[in-house]
Amino acid sequence: MNIFRLVGDMSHLLAIIILLMKMWKSRSVAGISGKSQILFAIVFTTRYLDLFTSFVSIYNTSMKVFFIGTSYVTVYFIYQHFKPTYDSNHDTFRVEFLIVPVGGLAFLVNHEFSLLEILWTFSIYLESVAILPQLFMVSKTGEAESITSHYLFALGSYRALYLLNWIYRYYFEGFFDLIAVVAGCVQTILYCDFFYLYITKVLKGKKISLPA
């Protein structure tokens, strides 16, 4: 464990808590893409299947349980509990255009041709594009609530910090995972436009409107 990965995990945790608090306090899921949240639930489910077979640490296991649990609660909030406030007309990204290519790529490009490893690779590739429905929805609605912007900033920062973690681990531990690094770069690059708007607008008290 290193500071970059720890801060990254905390940023990820914060993003999830911000989202749940926004939904619970405002009793609304307006502006939130249910499709992205479904993709995140798939990402965690396929990545953490080793939850019961390989123990890394208490921290690792408890975070995995938290991420899986909250991802399903979030999907439940959107499609059941606060369904009347779900804006399905603006959440129209065709996720099959993400899942099929990502599934095919995971089958072809992976570290080991085993079920668990292919599912882990699928999860890594899927996570890199899972935010697209949400960014697409923000561009369609033309703006995002500031709380949603904070959620996106924390979520985008987590994988950016993981890039620093991989640089650290390469030099100090000789650890290098090309699949995770490439997907992490793609994932972080997708947030660049949003990061720019967040820093130039939201931090000055303005609202975000995409496309800028």
Partner 1 sequence: QPPKDAHDEL
Q: Which residues bind partner 1 (CB under 8 A)?
A: 5, 9, 12, 50, 54, 56, 60, 63-64, 67, 111-112, 117, 120, 162, 165, 174-177, 180
C-alpha 79/C-alpha 119 separation (Å) is 25
The residue (of 29 and 130) whose beta carbon lies closer to partner 1 is 130
Tell me which long-range contacts 172-177 makes (C-beta under 8 A, separation of at least 24): 172/2, 177/111
Minimum CB–partner distance for residue 53 and partner 1 (Å): 11
The residue (of 74 and 141) whose beta carbon lies closer to partner 1 is 74
The residue (of 5 and 90) whose beta carbon lies closer to partner 1 is 5
Minimum CB–partner distance for residue 63 and partner 1 (Å): 5
Minimum CB–partner distance for residue 40 and partner 1 (Å): 13
The residue (of 93 and 120) whose beta carbon lies closer to partner 1 is 120
The residue (of 83 and 111) whose beta carbon lies closer to partner 1 is 111
State residue 132 phi and psi, 5-degree precision: -55, -45
Residue with tokens 């893409």: 33
What's 48's DSSP letter?
Answer: -
Helix (H) or strand (E) holding 34: helix 34-47
Minimum CB–partner distance for residue 204 and partner 1 (Å): 33
35 in Cβ contact with 75 (< 8 Å) = no
Q: Is 144 helix (H, G, I), strand (E, B) or coil?
A: strand
Minimum CB–partner distance for residue 37 and partner 1 (Å): 18
What's 208's DSSP letter?
Answer: B
